[in-house]
Each structure stands twice: as structure tokens, then as C-alpha cells.
Amino acid sequence: MKLRMVTGNAHKAEEAQAALQPLGIDVVQHHVPHPEVQADTLEEVARERALWLRGKVPGAYFVDDAGLFVEALRGFPGVYSAYVQRTIGNAGLLRLLDGEPRAARFECCIAYLEPGMSAPFLLKGVCPGSIASAPAGAGGFGFDPVFVPEGETLTFAELPLARKTALSHRGRALGKLAAWLEGNRPAGNR
Amino acid sequence: MKLRMVTGNAHKAEEAQAALQPLGIDVVQHHVPHPEVQADTLEEVARERALWLRGKVPGAYFVDDAGLFVEALRGFPGVYSAYVQRTIGNAGLLRLLDGEPRAARFECCIAYLEPGMSAPFLLKGVCPGSIASAPAGAGGFGFDPVFVPEGETLTFAELPLARKTALSHRGRALGKLAAWLEGNRPAGNR
């Protein structure tokens, strides 16, 4: 099946394709300029964005919202990760954590909607890990160069895409989406 | 005249009262729990909040949204100032600016609405200044202890309320609101 991911971020679509293609789902990036949705939680942002897109995207589609939550910073930058990345960036985050505990987690919430569904279906993926002492790697995007997933010694930006996807918050949410689609779809639509 | 300021922040209402009472406007704090509105600009946040409150607040009212914009941090924390204050706080901001240029400005946008108006009237106030090297003072709220307005040597948290109000982003926006009310209101309503 073909599935649209509505995003302006080609990295996200590439990750989704890496996660879902092996499961028989072909992800197509679909960009629709949309108003900024900000809310207290990733779930709300993803849900509102998916609902706003209804009628503007043909067929089944999904959106995601993701954030980095640093424990020593009370969850900062959290739902504002994209903004914080654009302003203070990795250098700013590392400066804030100088001498502080490094525990952090990435979270991703996917909102899936298809014609006939009254509300988006939400799926959450979490990847625990820690903030590196310095940026490393050229892959990925956003805070990837400073995030080391639990059990690894390399950052998300250093890991091959397939390995990142197997571990990452987005990969885990996408895995749940694939399982849900497989289990909830009439056989004829598979 | 009596005017409701819709806010959960008693400091803001106190500042508004300090600014407007001398001009014959009596500010009353009116708290209505409302959903978080986040957007790219203070103007959008204030406008959306004012519109959301329509029909939920009697008579004329206003709301404000304010933020601190630090030049060396590409405008961070900007519209996310309240969130950034709750998470990394003044200590985090100072850490980010260690060795950096200190120029910053506070901005405030007021949205005023009264029965019969189709859209809120927006008024903006800006206060240029700089970030102090260490927090000082016990007055005000938020980033006040680390902000020194242009032409002063004390932070907003050290200045007496009347002096802060005369200089501040909020005070300037409120002054514009008072002038607009005075000029646009039928004489009988003054």
C-alpha cells in the first residue's frame, strides 16, 4: 500500500520510508503548507495537524511531531525542540548541560487519518538515551548529532539510517503504525 | 472606566493597574482558564486568546502576550519565554549568554476586545535593553531579574513598579491602549 506522510522535512519522510518499506508500505512525502500548531503535548500537535489537513490530502496520510526531553532541564526543549534547534541549536543545548546529568529521551507521536475515520489514530514512540559531550556525525537532522540512544556509543547522526530507525522514537512509532494497519485493515485493502 | 484584564498572572494585572489607574482606567484581573495558544508571533497569540474569550467575559477586556528576544540567540526565547522560564530559567539563559553579546528586548502585544468589535485591536510595546551578568532584584516576574532596560543600570526586578511600568514593554503597550481608548470612545463612555 501507498501512504502519504505530510511533512516539509525530507529527513522525516526518508526515515519513514526506511521503517515502513520493509513492511510493504510505500511512504510518499506530501508537503502541504500549514499553520504552526503548538500545544502542550506532542499528541495535541499531531492530532490538530492531522485534523487540519482533512480534505486537503487525498487518501490515507499521517503526520508526526517529535521532541527531545532533557531530564536535567525539566523536559526542555520538549514540544519546542524545532524552535530551540533553530535558535540556540546543539551548541546552546550542550552549554546548558555543562556539568549536568545527561539523561534525555526523544519522543515521537504519529497521527494517522484515512477517509471515514472520525478522529486521528495516535501512536507514540520513545527512545531513551543521553546527550553527548560534543556533536558527532553528519547524518539525521535536528538534535541527532548530540543524542546517543541507550545501549549505543554513537549518536543518531553517526548511526546508519537503518540502525537509527530500528532504535529511534520515530521508528518505534512507525512500527506501531505498521502493526496497527496490518491488524485493522480489511484483507482486501492490505 | 473599569476594564478587565484576562490573565492568571497577578503580576501582569498589577502592572496594568499601575499603568492605567493614573489615566482613569481601573483594571480588574479576571481569570478564565483557557487552552494554551501558541503561535509564531505574540500578535497571533494575543489575538487568538482574545477571540477565544469572546462570550466568556462580560464587557470590555484585554489580554497580553509578552516575550524576551535575545539577539545573540536569534530571538530565543521569544514567544516561548514562559516555557523557557519554567524549564531552564534565568540560570539557563545566563549560561547560554556566557561570553556573548547581551543585547535583548522585551516585547508585549495587547489584544483589546469589547462587545460590537468584530476583531481585537492590537497594540505593541517594545523595551530595548540588555541581559545582566547575574540575576538581581526581587520584584517583577519571569526574566525581570536578568533584564536591564536601556538607559538604566538596575534590572526590572530592582526597579520600583512605577519606574518599571514607565519603561517596560507592557507599560508602553498599555499607554497606547489608554490613548486609543481615550481617542476612540464616545464622550459619554469615557
pLDDT at B1: 86
Residue of A36, A75, A95 with shortest CB distance to B96: A95
| Rounded distance between C-alpha atoms, residue A79 and residue A85, angstroms | 11
pLDDT at A36: 73
% of chain A exceeding 70 in pLDDT: 97
Residue of A38, A92, A96 with shortest CB distance to B38: A38
| Rounded distance between C-alpha atoms, residue B137 and residue A69, angstroms | 31
Q: pTM here?
A: 0.85
Confidence of residue A186 (pLDDT cuts 50, 70, 90): low
CATH number at residue A173: 3.90.950.10
Mean pLDDT per 10-residue interval, chain B, length 190 residues: 94 93 93 80 94 94 97 96 95 97 98 95 98 96 97 97 95 95 63
B54 has a chain A CB within 8 A of its CB = no
Take residue B164 and report the three cell numbers written for it.
518599571
Number of domains in chain B: 1
ipTM associated with this complex? 0.78
DSSP 3-state assignment of B35?
coil
CB B69 within 8 A of CB B92: no
Confidence of residue A85 (pLDDT cuts 50, 70, 90): very high
Domain span including residue A141: 2-189
Tell me the average pLDDT of chain A.
93
% of chain A exceeding 90 in pLDDT: 88
C-alpha torsion sign, points A97, A98, A101, A102:
positive
Residue among B96, B97, B100, B131 with most chain A CBs within 10 A, to mutate: B96
Take residue B69 and report the three cell numbers written for it.
528576544
Residue of B36, B87, B95 with shortest CB distance to A76: B87
What residues of chain B lie within 8 A of the CB of A74, using their CB? 86-88
Q: What is the largest CA-CA distance in chain B?
A: 57
Gyration radius (Cα) of chain B, Å: 17
Beta bridge partners of B5: B29, B62
Determine the average pLDDT of the residues in A131-140: 96
Name the nearest CA neighbour of B64 among B76, B82, B77, B86: B82
| Rounded distance between C-alpha atoms, residue B36 and residue A40, angstroms | 7
Q: Cβ of B161: how many Cβ atoms within 10 Å?
A: 18
pLDDT at B74: 95
A100 has a chain B CB within 8 A of its CB = no
CB B6 within 8 A of CB B63: yes
- At residue B121, φ and ψ (nearest 5 deg) are -95, 130
Q: Closest-CA residue in chain A for B91? A: A96
pLDDT at A185: 63
Distances (CA, A) of B149 to A17, B12, B124, B145, B154: 51, 18, 17, 11, 8
A52 has a chain B CB within 8 A of its CB = no
